Amino acid sequence: MLAVVYGLAVGVTFGLTGAGGGILAVPALVIGLGWSMPTAAPVALLAVAAAAATGAVQGLREGLVRYRAALLMASAGALLSPLGVELAQRLPHRVLTTAFALVMTLVALRLVRQAFGHVACDPAADSPRPPCRLDPASGRFRWTPRVSAILAAIGALAGLLSGLLGVGGGFLIVPALRRVSDVPLHGIVATSLMVIALVSGFAAFGALSAGVRIDAMGASFIAASVAGMLVGRRLSGRLPARFIQVGFAGVCLIVAVSLFLSGGS
């Protein structure tokens, strides 16, 4: 029952935030169910992959996903996610927990800055001439070696963090794409969801190939996350963006403190 409750909470948060809620999957399993980081990461990855795929399919139907960019980032992420999985199996639990708590703190601080106007809501405002620009005629990226390298680097870092910490990487992909591209926010979120689904799925497959197994509790958590994602997507348009950002930031800070305190346990 607890696995279902936590899975629903993670899924709803994922649906509300668009791409950042997956960062709560590991803490839900570590703090809520008492799992270790190496055990929780594969289950979290599968839950994030399934929930993100649900949102990505909707984005594809609406024509919001920049699928070529998503495939490039996911391919780069897939190359580095096995390294993250390998590191996660070798590093001490305390190190992984502390690293995760630091990541959550940074995410929370960025959200607070954004919610209160310190970060522009318009992606073009961050950079008057972002390197990854859309062609006004076709609506597609103007592909150059530089554009390919930037997008691949974003995907590679997201893949490394996916394998290492069991996160989807949306907290990294979304702000990165907002800074380096002029894609509208809805398109960025939809593209990020596709990248998350592919990278997280690949990282989870790598963990399963390494001998990790998903029990009934883990399967319940994954299924509940998908259901929660659908609920969150329906609620997202009815709540103010600032309310969602500040609320999510507060949750991240509370979880980060809990992880710091439990890092040695």
The domain locations on the chain are 2-262
Kindly report the average pLDDT of the chain as a whole number: 82
- C-alpha 206/C-alpha 42 separation (Å) is 9
Tell me the whole-structure pTM to 2 decimals.
0.78
Averaged pLDDT, 49-74: 88
pLDDT value at residue 119: 46
Q: 39 burial class (0-12, 13-18, 19+ CB within 10 angstroms)? A: buried
Residue 206 pLDDT > 80: no
Averaged pLDDT, 231-241: 77
Residue 126 pLDDT > 60: no
Question: In the numeric block, which tokens belong to residue 248?
Answer: 């999510």
Of 259, 232, 166, nearest to 8 by C-alpha is 232
Determine what percent of the chain is predicted with pLDDT higher than 70. 90
In total, the chain counts a number of residues equal to 265
pLDDT tens sequence across 63-76: 888 989 999 999 99
pLDDT tens sequence across 156-183: 998 898 888 877 777 788 888 988 998 8
Residue 151 pLDDT > 80: yes
For residue 45, what pLDDT band results from cuts at 50, 70 and 90? Answer: confident
Residue 264 pLDDT > 70: no
Residue 38 pLDDT > 60: yes
pLDDT value at residue 122: 45
Averaged pLDDT, 204-209: 76
The 3-state secondary structure of the chain, one letter per residue = CHHHHHHHHHHHHHHHHCCCHHHHHHHHHHHHCCCCHHHHHHHHHHHHHHHHHHHHHHHHHCCCCCHHHHHHHHHHHHHHHHHHHHHHHHCCHHHHHHHHHHHHHHHHHHHHHHHCCCCCCCHHHHCCCCCECECCCCCCECCCHHHHHHHHHHHHHHHHHHHHHCCCCHHHHHHHHHHHECCCHHHHHHHHHHHHHHHHHHHHHHHHHCCCCCCHHHHHHHHHHHHHHHHHHHHHCCCCHHHHHHHHHHHHHHHHHHHHHHCCC
Check: CB of residue 77 under 8 Å from CB of residue 156. Answer: yes
For residue 143, what pLDDT band results from cuts at 50, 70 and 90? Answer: very high
pLDDT value at residue 145: 94
pLDDT value at residue 128: 63
Averaged pLDDT, 35-52: 84
